[in-house]
Amino acid sequence: MRAVVVHAAKDLRVEDVPDPECRPDQVIVAMEWGGICGSDTAYWKTGTSGTAVLKDPLILGHEVAGHIVEVGSRVSGVEVGQRVTVHPATLVGDHTMPEENAGRTNLWPEVRYFGSAAFQPHEPGGFSSLRAVRPEQLRPLPDRVSTKEGALAEPFGVAIHAVRRAGDVSGRTVLVNGCGPIGALAVAAAKAAGAGRVHAADPSANALQVARAMGADALISLAGGEPLPADVEVAIEASGAARALGGVISAVRRGGVLVQVGNLPAGEVAAELGNIVTREIDYRGSYRFVDEITDAITLMESGVDVSPLMTHRFALDDAQEAFAVAADRDSGSSKVMLRLA
């Protein structure tokens, strides 16, 4: 089969790899669509993503969808031809979670994730013609949700989780700082959760237009020097830019909530944090998701349109060009899609 494999920094190849074997407790999914994530481009550009360091060739991709082509002998409840997306996480290791974290599987100490170099051996991703999957990872797609849209259920789940980390946003004023794919999806998630007014801030005019299409009520051009709004009740920081933190904190009202979903750079981060103390701001992290990928599918079925996010698409064999476009802020891209079939 064909797959998108990163061998080292600046060494991305589309190559033939062995077809996966279907064990009795697995299914084989023929992948149709994949969305390129910032972690994918990070492995390509630097050989690292966060604290994970690439040591061996790795099939990339964790935002994927397709249809089942083979079912293992011990698997029931699914059938060949069924359209699905995939929850990319597998919990490993014998750990005991604190009682207060029961059910928060995204905080499990050891998680193997599609297309991740965090563990040895690395966990292959889904940018390939075929992928063996445990049946409990499958999320069926309803008739109204295409596999192209289904590939975005994973990042949409990340955005939904971030909004939920803020608590009840019904009727509240929300600021989303950073309107890349996760930020734009956070706009949609906040509106779907009943937020009153959603401000979207970004330096890129293209990103702001995507945010508007996803439901933003007000756009703030950071490149144009426009100030962030004052006294917002909730802020979702989705840029991951350390230099943005001080301004976002200052925009949150006293007693408000700031959720950090943008992945901050490794190492020390310089930021003015005094307002967290004097304003008693709740600063909360948001990491991946639990099962909000299922809720993302439900929202898409109910009419949330994620198509404005999908600005570019490429064939699997053109993955190198696709990655270059996805990594280029001047390309006008938001979510770059790979046709994996």
Are residues 202 and 181 in contact, defined by beta-carbon separation less than 8 angstroms? Answer: no
Q: Would residue 123 be called left, alpha or beta, if left means φ above 0 and alpha means ψ between -120 and 50 degrees? A: beta
Q: Which residues, in sequence order, are CB contacts of 34 under 8 Å at separation 6+?
A: 61, 63, 64, 126, 127, 151, 337, 338, 340
Cα–Cα distance, 256 to 215 (Å, whole number)? 22
In the chain, which stretches have pLDDT less than 50?
Answer: none
**Residues 271-309: pLDDT tens digits?**
788 999 999 999 999 999 999 999 999 999 999 999 999
- What phi and psi, each to the nearest 5 degrees, are found at residue 206? -65, -45
**Residues 118-136: pLDDT tens digits?**
999 999 999 999 999 999 9
**Dihedral, CA of residue 151, residue 152, residue 153 and residue 159, to nearest 10:** 160
- What phi and psi, each to the nearest 5 degrees, are found at residue 248? -70, -40
pTM for the structure as a whole: 0.96
Architecture of 2-152+306-339 per CATH?
Alpha-Beta Complex (3.90)
The reply to whether 156-285 shares the fold of 2-152+306-339 is no
Q: What is the pLDDT of residue 15?
A: 98
**Half-sphere exposure of residue 105, counting CA atoms within 13 Å on the CB side?**
14
Q: Which residues, in sequence order, are CB contacts of 133 under 8 Å at separation 6+?
A: 26, 27, 28, 29, 86
Q: Report which residue type is found at 187.
A: V
Cα–Cα distance, 43 to 50 (Å, whole number)? 9
Where are the chain's structural domains? 2-152+306-339, 156-285
Q: What is the pLDDT of residue 139?
A: 98
The CATH fold assigned to 156-285 is Rossmann fold (3.40.50)
Q: What is the pLDDT of residue 320?
A: 97
